[in-house]
Amino acid sequence: MPASLAAVKHKIESTKSTRQITSAMQMVSTAKLNQIQHHTETYEVYAEKVKQMLVDLVRSHSATSAASQDNVYAALFKKRPVKKTGILVITSDRGLVGSYNSNVLKATMAMMDKHKLNKDNTVFLTIGKTGTEFFKKRGMNIVYQYSGINDVPTFREVLPIVRSAVQMYNDAVFDELYIAFSHYVNRISSHVHVHSVLPITEKSLMDDDELSELEAASNQSANSSSDVTTASISAEYEFEPSDTAIVSALVEQYAESMLYGAILDAKTSEHSSSANAMRSATDNADDIVSTLQLQYNRARQAAITTEITEITGGMTAEE
């Protein structure tokens, strides 16, 4: 076999081996995605109920009045001058997840530019090795880092992260906290969310769509010459044993559910991105094999034609 044919055949075999690996990784990521989706969807129902109750209490001022008490979680309502901004960034521990990590990191840097944040007035809490290494290389101040999150994170696993973040806020390590993570939309697309979570306000309890609607309504109200009065209707609650005890318990549940939900959401998006990346790699490998196979067949046909021509020429010369 000529050297060129041998080289092409070796490339075909190598690409087929790579395709087998990427196809297997796609199947693994898809299985993990199917497994975590059930947890994410059911947990979102619980987290939304907790958030809605807290929103109602904030709008009725019950939560803010209870925040005056000396409690580690109720103190999360208290605003103070911002000297340091904290950003909790959730990325993956490994690669082969497409643009998953780069999208989160780009959105975080864009938010920093928008709010004029830099390494002197910003501290980072990183979940995932990719984010930790990214910000370390840029000389950023990382006050907390965590890696090795399970493929399907457990609530017990996230508790130390929540408590560390809350304690740092109360110790004034940072005066406000943003969270940046990839939100899973469906198996094809994800969107990066970067929003404020501490201190807790009515605005910080809103998601991106609600914030957009609020900003649009504010702009419309500012441009209108008429005096329009709006009223929001919220649920009424009777507190037992007291509003302070209820708010403290509810805020603790909200802080835990918010971060756990974000990690679940980010992990779901990670598995989806990994499955999509491996599917694209498998499809590309198929295309390469087809191209190489065609190249091999043409080279082999040319070599056979050359041999036949040489044999025919030799027989003609003998005659």
Helix, strand, coil % (nearest 5) of the chain? 60, 10, 25
176-184 sheet: strands from edge to edge: 141-146, 122-127, 85-90, 176-184, 190-198
State the pLDDT at residue 230.
Answer: 39
| Integer CA distances (angstroms), 108 to 86, 118, 160, in order | 12, 12, 23
* Tens digit of pLDDT at every position of the chain (319 positions): 555 778 888 888 888 888 889 889 889 988 888 888 878 878 888 888 887 877 777 666 555 555 555 555 666 777 788 899 999 999 999 888 888 999 999 999 999 999 999 989 999 999 999 999 999 999 999 999 999 888 888 888 888 888 888 889 888 899 999 999 998 888 888 889 998 888 877 666 665 555 455 455 555 554 544 443 334 444 566 666 666 677 777 777 788 888 888 888 899 999 999 989 898 889 898 889 888 888 878 877 877 787 777 677 666 665 5
State the pLDDT at residue 137.
Answer: 92
Instruction: Residue 165: name the closest of 283, 266, 255, 272 by CA.
Output: 255
What does the alpha-carbon distance between residue 284 and residue 104 come to, in Å, rounded to a whole number? Answer: 25
State the pLDDT at residue 225.
Answer: 43
State the pLDDT at residue 304.
Answer: 77
What does the alpha-carbon distance between residue 33 and residue 185 come to, in Å, rounded to a whole number? Answer: 13
State the pLDDT at residue 259.
Answer: 85
- In 172-279, which ranges are E strands? 176-184, 190-198
What does the alpha-carbon distance between residue 96 and residue 276 come to, in Å, rounded to a whole number? Answer: 10
Q: What is the pTM assigned to this prediction?
A: 0.77
Tell me the domains of the chain and their CATH numbers: 1-205+244-310 (3.40.1380.10)
State the pLDDT at residue 211.
Answer: 47
What does the alpha-carbon distance between residue 182 and residue 40 come to, in Å, rounded to a whole number? Answer: 14
